[in-house]
Amino acid sequence: MGKVHQEDSNVKEKNSELSLVRVKGTWKSKTGLKIKDAVDCVSAAKIYESISEQGTTWTVVSPITFTYKVTETHSLLDPSNDTLLLGHITDPQQMEDIKRSNKPMRRFVVVDQEVYKIYGPKLTEYLEANDVVYKVLALPTTEENKSMETALKILEEVNNFSLDRRTEPVIAIGGGVCLDIVGLAASLYRRRTPYIRVPTTLLSYIDASVGAKTGVNFANCKNKLGAYIPPAAAFLDLSFMQSVPRRHISNGLAEMLKMALMKHKGLFELLEEHGCMLLDTKFQTGNNVYGHNSVKVASQTTRIAILTMLEELAPNLWEDDLNRLVDFGHLISPALEMKVLPSLLHGEAVNIDMSYMTYVSHESGLLTEEEKQRIISCMVGLELPVWHEEFTMELVQKSLQDRLKHSGGLVRMPLPVGLGQAEIFNNISYDILQKAFIKWCEELSVSSDSTCDA
């Protein structure tokens, strides 16, 4: 009687790496690197096939690359400046085709209604001078109506205009709220339509315009709905700042100060020394009592703030790494901002958060008393609030608990460890948070009668 052959029940998985190659207009998978056919191109994407007794699993690794420009320009709405219409194009052949074409360009523009009151005539003159077929939608884009309803209203109008999602980017002109809402709407229309950001406030100039995040408020939470889809380009023109109220210049300086405290001592020193001048001149480079110095400082501060912001955002556009220095001032401020809406601007709420966290750093032994005082004095010099009665210890606790839920179970608290230096901490005790809070209230509360909810 012959031997009975028993199959090994512990069959190992069979794993294959498949490359993807394009041959005569179609994609084909090839095992490993054995690509012998004449191919048009090889994709950076891979398929990993795993076959076992339980079945087959395909793991797709598909790198996605976004290319977008952040361009500082002057006189953006001058009809002779084609940046707004063509500045986003990176392909020379596409640029040449557009310039040769007799077909008129089409653009859908969403503009904040307050901005439209000031720049509407100049905007329409620009579009008409360049023979653009256009639709301008002026909307109230404030934190109170930063909603899905507003995004859907934009989408209805975009659909009626019949945009070509390949060649006709939506243009958003306004502050951060406008840029966020339009960005989300564009990312939803036909799954992704290119859009262009034109910031008209200092806050959006150095913050909202340079990253990839879009969003709207939902369930009384700030930016709870959104996507990571960067613009095709952001066009920055400081001349818009001349029509911005002084308080909104101060509001933008808060985000600039955030980057200074986290990453760049030189920027902190510029803000410390020249903050009043930046407020007085509104970053304008025309004739003023400060002379050439105002030109130099405005250029230096915006350039450093934008570059340091891009350093942090570019490698982490999708926030795969949750340890983010740019979250400084954003742990408690979202809850505070929504709680007291609309009395605090975004940058003001951020600064109150940063002010308290400066005391946490000092109480933790990370900052000297002198450094703490310099930071608070700089904030005051930038005309930013450093304390608020609704910023309670209860709000701190709730916000940090929420933070744990959305940050992989860790607080990931960015704190300054010197001027222009920072680290992420996960072990700041409740005792330190409370001691810092009490001292913060004692030293910075707006009047001697104010009570602190410790």
Q: Which residues are catalytic?
A: 213
Secondary structure of residue 359 in the 3-state scheme: helix
Q: Is 405 helix (H, G, I), strand (E, B) or coil?
A: helix
Q: Tell me whether strands 233-236 and 413-418 are parallel, antiparallel or unpaired.
A: unpaired
Q: For the packed helices 292-313 and 265-281, what is the interaxial angle rounded to 10 degrees?
A: 130
* SS3 category, 302: helix
How many CB atoms are closer than 10 A to CB 115?
A: 22
> How buried is residue 53: exposed, middle or buried, by Cβ count under 10 Å (0-12/13-18/19+)?
exposed
Nearest to 204 by CA among 185, 180, 183: 180
Q: Where are the extended beta strands (E) located within 281-403?
A: none
- Give the contacts of 11 (CB within 8 A, at least 6 positions apart): 52, 53
The DSSP result for 228-266, as a single string, is E---SEEEE-GGGGGGS-HHHHHHHHHHHHHHHHHH-HH
**Is the CA virtual torsion 263, 269, 272, 276 positive or negative?**
negative
Question: Quick one: tokens of 151?
Answer: 């995004």
